[in-house]
Structure 1
Protein backbone atom coordinates (compact mmCIF):
# COMPACT_ATOMS: atom_id res chain seq x y z
CA UNK A 1 0.00 0.00 0.00
CA UNK A 2 2.81 2.41 0.81
CA UNK A 3 5.00 1.38 -2.13
CA UNK A 4 3.90 4.38 -4.19
CA UNK A 5 4.53 6.63 -1.21
CA UNK A 6 8.04 5.21 -0.84
CA UNK A 7 8.73 5.85 -4.52
CA UNK A 8 7.40 9.41 -4.50
CA UNK A 9 8.53 10.47 -1.00
CA UNK A 10 11.48 8.26 -0.04
CA UNK A 11 12.57 10.44 2.90
CA UNK A 12 9.10 10.90 4.38
CA UNK A 13 7.79 7.35 3.97
CA UNK A 14 9.71 5.87 6.95
CA UNK A 15 8.29 8.53 9.29
CA UNK A 16 4.78 7.94 8.04
CA UNK A 17 5.19 4.17 8.29
CA UNK A 18 6.55 4.44 11.83
CA UNK A 19 3.54 6.56 12.85
CA UNK A 20 1.19 4.00 11.28
CA UNK A 21 2.94 1.15 13.09
CA UNK A 22 2.78 2.95 16.43
CA UNK A 23 -0.65 4.55 16.22
CA UNK A 24 -2.57 3.31 13.18
CA UNK A 25 -3.78 4.93 9.98
CA UNK A 26 -6.69 6.77 11.61
CA UNK A 27 -4.34 8.47 14.08
CA UNK A 28 -2.00 9.50 11.26
CA UNK A 29 -4.87 11.06 9.36
CA UNK A 30 -6.24 12.79 12.45
CA UNK A 31 -2.86 14.19 13.55
CA UNK A 32 -1.15 14.58 10.18
CA UNK A 33 -0.89 18.38 10.13
CA UNK A 34 0.27 18.57 13.73
CA UNK A 35 2.69 15.65 13.90
CA UNK A 36 3.99 14.78 10.43
CA UNK A 37 3.36 17.55 7.91
CA UNK A 38 5.72 20.01 9.67
CA UNK A 39 8.56 17.71 8.59
CA UNK A 40 8.02 19.37 5.22
CA UNK A 41 10.49 22.01 6.39
CA UNK A 42 13.18 19.33 6.24
CA UNK A 43 11.99 17.05 3.45
CA UNK A 44 9.30 16.78 0.83
CA UNK A 45 6.06 15.61 2.46
CA UNK A 46 2.92 14.43 0.68
CA UNK A 47 -0.31 16.29 1.11
CA UNK A 48 -2.74 14.51 3.40
CA UNK A 49 -5.06 13.65 0.52
CA UNK A 50 -2.11 11.99 -1.29
CA UNK A 51 -1.68 9.37 1.44
CA UNK A 52 -2.72 5.96 0.07
CA UNK A 53 -5.12 5.29 2.96
CA UNK A 54 -6.82 8.71 2.80
CA UNK A 55 -10.53 8.46 2.02
CA UNK A 56 -12.18 11.71 1.01
CA UNK A 57 -15.60 10.48 2.16
CA UNK A 58 -14.32 9.76 5.69
CA UNK A 59 -11.60 12.38 6.29
CA UNK A 60 -11.13 16.08 5.79
CA UNK A 61 -8.13 18.26 5.05
CA UNK A 62 -7.08 21.75 6.01
CA UNK A 63 -6.76 24.51 3.47
CA UNK A 64 -3.42 26.25 3.09
CA UNK A 65 -4.83 29.29 4.89
CA UNK A 66 -6.01 27.12 7.81
CA UNK A 67 -2.59 25.49 8.09
CA UNK A 68 -0.84 28.86 8.04
CA UNK A 69 -3.16 30.14 10.77
CA UNK A 70 -2.54 27.04 12.90
CA UNK A 71 1.24 27.23 12.53
CA UNK A 72 1.26 30.97 13.27
CA UNK A 73 -0.74 30.34 16.44
CA UNK A 74 1.77 27.67 17.48
CA UNK A 75 4.67 30.06 16.84
CA UNK A 76 3.00 32.74 18.96
CA UNK A 77 2.35 30.19 21.71
CA UNK A 78 5.99 29.05 21.70
CA UNK A 79 7.16 32.66 21.80
CA UNK A 80 4.87 33.37 24.76
CA UNK A 81 6.32 30.34 26.56
CA UNK A 82 9.84 31.46 25.76
CA UNK A 83 9.34 35.02 26.97
CA UNK A 84 6.95 34.23 29.83
CA UNK A 85 4.32 36.65 28.53
CA UNK A 86 0.63 36.29 27.92
CA UNK A 87 -1.01 37.01 24.55
CA UNK A 88 -1.52 40.72 24.07
CA UNK A 89 1.09 41.85 26.63
Structure 2
Protein backbone atom coordinates (compact mmCIF):
# COMPACT_ATOMS: atom_id res chain seq x y z
CA UNK A 1 0.00 0.00 0.00
CA UNK A 2 1.38 3.36 -0.87
CA UNK A 3 2.07 5.85 1.87
CA UNK A 4 -0.27 8.44 0.39
CA UNK A 5 -3.18 6.00 0.31
CA UNK A 6 -2.50 5.03 3.93
CA UNK A 7 -2.37 8.70 4.89
CA UNK A 8 -5.56 9.58 3.07
CA UNK A 9 -7.50 6.48 4.17
CA UNK A 10 -5.92 5.47 7.50
CA UNK A 11 -8.80 3.22 8.55
CA UNK A 12 -9.34 1.43 5.23
CA UNK A 13 -5.70 0.95 4.19
CA UNK A 14 -5.02 -1.88 6.68
CA UNK A 15 -8.12 -3.78 5.48
CA UNK A 16 -7.04 -3.41 1.87
CA UNK A 17 -3.46 -4.42 2.64
CA UNK A 18 -4.65 -7.47 4.56
CA UNK A 19 -6.83 -8.50 1.60
CA UNK A 20 -3.89 -8.04 -0.78
CA UNK A 21 -1.61 -10.07 1.50
CA UNK A 22 -4.17 -12.84 1.85
CA UNK A 23 -5.58 -13.00 -1.69
CA UNK A 24 -3.45 -10.86 -4.01
CA UNK A 25 -4.02 -7.65 -5.94
CA UNK A 26 -6.10 -9.25 -8.71
CA UNK A 27 -8.54 -10.71 -6.18
CA UNK A 28 -8.93 -7.35 -4.48
CA UNK A 29 -9.68 -5.68 -7.82
CA UNK A 30 -12.14 -8.40 -8.87
CA UNK A 31 -13.94 -8.40 -5.52
CA UNK A 32 -13.56 -4.74 -4.58
CA UNK A 33 -17.21 -3.72 -4.71
CA UNK A 34 -18.36 -6.82 -2.86
CA UNK A 35 -15.66 -7.07 -0.17
CA UNK A 36 -13.98 -3.67 0.36
CA UNK A 37 -16.29 -0.93 -0.89
CA UNK A 38 -19.11 -1.73 1.61
CA UNK A 39 -16.73 -0.62 4.38
CA UNK A 40 -17.62 2.86 3.16
CA UNK A 41 -20.68 2.59 5.41
CA UNK A 42 -18.44 2.93 8.47
CA UNK A 43 -15.22 4.55 7.20
CA UNK A 44 -13.78 6.43 4.25
CA UNK A 45 -12.60 4.04 1.54
CA UNK A 46 -10.82 4.90 -1.69
CA UNK A 47 -12.43 4.51 -5.06
CA UNK A 48 -11.20 1.44 -6.90
CA UNK A 49 -9.37 3.70 -9.36
CA UNK A 50 -7.30 5.15 -6.48
CA UNK A 51 -5.69 1.81 -5.63
CA UNK A 52 -2.00 1.85 -6.54
CA UNK A 53 -2.29 -1.43 -8.47
CA UNK A 54 -5.38 -0.40 -10.47
CA UNK A 55 -4.70 -0.18 -14.20
CA UNK A 56 -7.53 1.37 -16.26
CA UNK A 57 -6.33 -0.52 -19.33
CA UNK A 58 -6.78 -3.86 -17.57
CA UNK A 59 -9.54 -3.29 -15.00
CA UNK A 60 -13.00 -1.82 -14.93
CA UNK A 61 -14.56 0.40 -12.30
CA UNK A 62 -18.24 1.03 -11.69
CA UNK A 63 -19.86 4.09 -13.17
CA UNK A 64 -21.80 6.45 -10.92
CA UNK A 65 -25.04 4.99 -12.31
CA UNK A 66 -23.91 1.45 -11.46
CA UNK A 67 -22.96 2.56 -7.95
CA UNK A 68 -26.37 4.19 -7.50
CA UNK A 69 -28.04 0.94 -8.57
CA UNK A 70 -25.85 -1.00 -6.12
CA UNK A 71 -26.72 1.40 -3.28
CA UNK A 72 -30.41 1.02 -4.10
CA UNK A 73 -30.12 -2.76 -3.97
CA UNK A 74 -28.33 -2.56 -0.60
CA UNK A 75 -31.03 -0.26 0.76
CA UNK A 76 -33.76 -2.62 -0.42
CA UNK A 77 -31.93 -5.58 1.10
CA UNK A 78 -31.57 -3.83 4.47
CA UNK A 79 -35.24 -2.83 4.38
CA UNK A 80 -36.26 -6.41 3.66
CA UNK A 81 -34.13 -7.62 6.57
CA UNK A 82 -35.65 -5.01 8.85
CA UNK A 83 -39.21 -5.89 7.87
CA UNK A 84 -38.71 -9.62 7.52
CA UNK A 85 -40.02 -9.58 3.96
CA UNK A 86 -38.77 -11.12 0.77
CA UNK A 87 -37.99 -9.07 -2.35
CA UNK A 88 -41.16 -8.06 -4.17
CA UNK A 89 -43.51 -8.63 -1.24
TM-score bin, normalised by smaller chain: 0.7 to 0.9
Consecutive unaligned residues of structure 2, counting only runs of 5 or more, are none
- Superposed CA deviations along residues 13-70 of structure 1, whole A, max 9, x for unmatched, are 1010011111111111111111111212222111110100000000000012211212
Tell me what 2:4 maps to. 4
Tell me what 2:57 maps to. 57
Flag as ranges the 4+ runs of structure 1 deviating above 4 A. 81-84
**Are the structure 2 counterparts of residues 11 and 71 from structure 1 closer, same or farther at C-alpha, using a change threshold of 3 Å?**
same
TM (norm. structure 2) is 0.82
Consecutive unaligned residues of structure 1, counting only runs of 5 or more, are none
TM (norm. structure 1) is 0.82
Tell me what 1:16 maps to. 16
Task: Tell me the distance in 1 between the aligned counterparts of 2:23 and 2:36.
Answer: 13
**Count of aligned positions:** 89
**Are the structure 2 counterparts of residues 74 and 51 from structure 1 closer, same or farther at C-alpha, using a change threshold of 3 Å?**
same
